Amino acid sequence: MRDFHLPGRSPAYGTGGMAATSHSLATLTAVDILRAGGNAVDGAIAAAAVLCVVEPQATGIGGDCFALYAPAGKGEVIALNGSGKAPAAAHLSWYLEQGMKRISLQSPHSVTVPGAVDAWCQLHGDYGKLAFAELLAPAIRLAEDGYTVHSRVAHDWAQLAKKLKVTDNASRMLLIDGQAPRAGDRHRQPELGRTLQTIAEQGRAGFYTGPVAEDIIGYLQSLGALHTLEDFAAPQSEYVTPISTQYRGYEVVECPPNGQGLTALIMLNILSGFSLTDFAPMSAQRLHLECEAARLAYGVRDRYIADPGQADIPIETLLSEDYAAELRAKISLDKVMPPLADSDFPTHPDTVYLCVVDAAGNAVSFINSVFHGFGSGLVSPKTGVVLQNRGAGFRLEAGHPNAIAPHKRPLHTIIPGMLMKAGRAVMPFGVMGGDYQPTGHAHFLTNLLDYRMDVQTALDFPRVFHDGNACQVERGVPALVKAELSTIGHQVVPVVSPHGGGQAIWIDENGGLTGGSDPRKDGCALGYE
CA distance 124 to 513: 24
Given phi > 0 = left and psi -120 to 50 = alpha, else beta, which region is 434?
left
pLDDT, tens only, 408-463: 999 999 999 999 999 999 999 999 988 999 999 999 999 999 999 999 999 999 99
pLDDT of residue 249: 97
How far is Cα 206 from Cα 210, in angstroms, rounded to an integer? 7
Q: In this structure, what DSSP letter does residue 412 have?
A: B
The alpha carbon dihedral of 89, 94, 100, 102 has a sign of: positive
pTM for this structure? 0.96
CA distances from 114 to 122, 207, 217, 261, 389 (A): 14, 10, 12, 20, 10
Nearest to 362 by CA among 11, 13, 19: 19
Q: Model confidence at 345, in pLDDT bands (50, 70, 90)?
A: very low
Give pLDDT tens digits for 75-134: 999 999 999 999 999 999 999 999 999 999 999 999 999 999 999 999 999 999 999 999
The tens digit of pLDDT for each residue in 151-207 reads 999 999 999 999 999 999 999 999 999 999 999 999 999 999 999 999 999 999 999
| Cα 108 from Cα 90, distance rounded (Å) | 12
Q: What is the pLDDT of residue 214?
A: 98
Per-residue model confidence (pLDDT) at position 339? 82
Active-site residue flag, 351? yes
Residue 20 has pLDDT above 60, yes or no: yes
The single-letter DSSP state of residue 80 is: E
pLDDT for residue 464 is more than 60: yes
pLDDT for 465-482, tens place per residue?
A: 998 889 999 999 999 999
- The per-residue pLDDT for 254 is 98
Q: What residue spans define the domains of the chain?
A: 20-239+370-392, 240-347+415-521
SS3 354: strand
Average pLDDT taken over every residue of the chain = 95
How much is the average pLDDT of 212-236? Answer: 97
The yes-or-no verdict on residue 346 having pLDDT over 50 is no
Q: Which fold has domain 240-347+415-521?
A: Glutamine Phosphoribosylpyrophosphate, subunit 1, domain 1 (3.60.20)
- Among the options 29, 112, 263, 351, which is catalytic? 351
Edge-to-edge, what's the strand order for the sheet holding 471-473?
464-466, 471-473, 492-494
